[in-house]
Amino acid sequence: MATPVQENLITSNKSYAANFDKGHLPLPPGKRYTVVTCMDARIDPAAAFGIDLGDAHVIRNAGASAKDALRSIVISQQLLQTQEVLLVKHTGCGMLTFQNSDATSIVEKNLGPEAVTAVKDQFGGDFLPFKNLEEQVKEDVAWLKENKAIGSNVTVSGWVYDVTTGKVKNV
Amino acid sequence: MATPVQENLITSNKSYAANFDKGHLPLPPGKRYTVVTCMDARIDPAAAFGIDLGDAHVIRNAGASAKDALRSIVISQQLLQTQEVLLVKHTGCGMLTFQNSDATSIVEKNLGPEAVTAVKDQFGGDFLPFKNLEEQVKEDVAWLKENKAIGSNVTVSGWVYDVTTGKVKNV
């Protein structure tokens, strides 16, 4: 018995597949770039950032963390020859609203001490929250530029997307 | 001086923002679910999986790895009250085409031994490749269901998207 969310996936995908004509696209991104952005529900990277199907890798995680995305970025560059990264964080990000201690307390209250242990064991207990949006974009960009796992030929730029206006700006 | 990729972002986003009328959407996903899928350039989750703006968190990484996504999934559930996960891997995934030793050799050849050390220090040197698509979907789903950091009230389902037909199927 499918849930409403699963039913929506099945029904929507039927319409999508019925009109699908991009089955010929190759694996490597045609425009050889990678977008790192947040998982936030208010962001549609393809539409808002002009990414046509087949153009770019799109990595998304809570907060658009460069650190969290590093494995995927290295694969994108080393195995699929991308040469540029656009790192896009956004206004109103949930990661600006809590600290690790808050998140840990919530996990403990909802799921018990075993869940706190699981979080520590599985990703070190760091939820990667941050305090200042533009500063964190700059920090992540600098971290990638200096990272020895990233080729020095790779161009990295940082951006902020405003979820209330739909506009991006370079920072 | 903007690169062509940056110029494309700026130009495309101007058109998007000019017609943007969703600035009122709240932070928590309206349909309270999370999609985990691959960074692959041939996937447009909003269009292919029927995700309207504001509906769902979308997490993307190389291979749609549940393990790599865990921090973001826990934040989605514990801090933003999502209750369901759709995990979607896809045919023709790059992660089926190499082993850790291959990726490590490529990194060493392109960037030198310092890069191999950086990869080991920063994400344990595991690129998380896999050998069998459907089996890996099932393994990731089982891993999430058994994970103590995930609430037992959370529904997790596994899917494969075919990049040549645009169709998803439940596995």
Is there a contact between B164 and A23 if contact means CB atoms under 8 Å apart?
yes
Q: How far apart are CA A96 and CA B52, in angstroms?
A: 24
Interface size A-B, in CB pairs within 8 Å, comes to 265
Cβ distance B78 to A106 less than 8 Å, yes or no, reads yes
Type of residue numbered B159: W
Domains present along chain A, CATH in parentheses: 26-96+129-170 (3.40.1050.10)
Distance from CA of B8 to the nearest CA of A (A): 7
The confidence score (pLDDT) of residue B125 equals 96
CB A130 within 8 A of CB A63: yes
d(CA B89, CA B67): 13
Give A138 to chain B, closest Cα distance, Å: 16
Residues in chain B: 171
Helices (H) and strands (E) in chain B, counts: 6, 5
Q: Is B162 labelled as part of a ligand binding site?
A: no
Q: Residues B80, B73: contact at Cβ < 8 Å?
A: no
pLDDT at A1: 84
Secondary structure class of B42 (helix, strand, coil): coil
Residue range B51-56: average pLDDT?
98
Which chain B residues are within 8 Å of A74, Cβ to Cβ?
103, 107, 119, 127
Question: What local confidence, expressed as pLDDT, does residue B67 receive?
Answer: 98
Q: What ipTM did this prediction achieve?
A: 0.98
Which of B8, B159, B165 comes nearest A17 by C-beta? B165
pLDDT tens sequence across B142-163: 999 999 999 999 999 999 999 9
φ, ψ dihedrals at A104, nearest 5°: -60, -45
The answer to whether B28 contacts A5, with C-beta atoms less than 8 Å apart, is no
Cα A101 to Cα A39, A107, B69, B73, distances in angstroms: 22, 10, 20, 18
A57 annotated ligand-binding residue: no
Helix (H, G, I), strand (E, B) or coil at B86: strand
User: Which residue has 């309206």 as its token pair?
Assistant: B30
Please state the separation of Cα B72 from the chain's center in Å: 10
B15 touches A166 (CB < 8 A): no
Identify the residue among A6, A21, A79 best suited for mutation to test binding to B, counting B beta carbons within 10 A and taking the highest. Answer: A79
Quote the minimal CA–CA distance from A136 to chain B in Å. 18
Sorting pLDDT into bands at 50, 70 and 90, what band is B29?
Answer: very high
Q: Residue A131 gets which letter from DSSP?
A: S
- For residue range B85-132, what is the model confidence (pLDDT) as tens digits? 999 999 999 999 999 999 999 999 999 999 999 999 999 999 999 999
Give the nearest partner residue to B44 out of A53, A117, A167, using CB atoms: A53
Q: Are strands B168-170 and B155-161 parallel, antiparallel or unpaired?
A: antiparallel
pLDDT in single tens digits along all 171 residues of chain A: 899 999 999 999 999 999 999 999 999 999 999 999 999 999 999 999 999 999 999 999 999 999 999 999 999 999 999 999 999 999 999 999 999 999 999 999 999 999 999 999 999 999 999 999 999 999 999 999 999 999 999 999 999 999 999 999 999
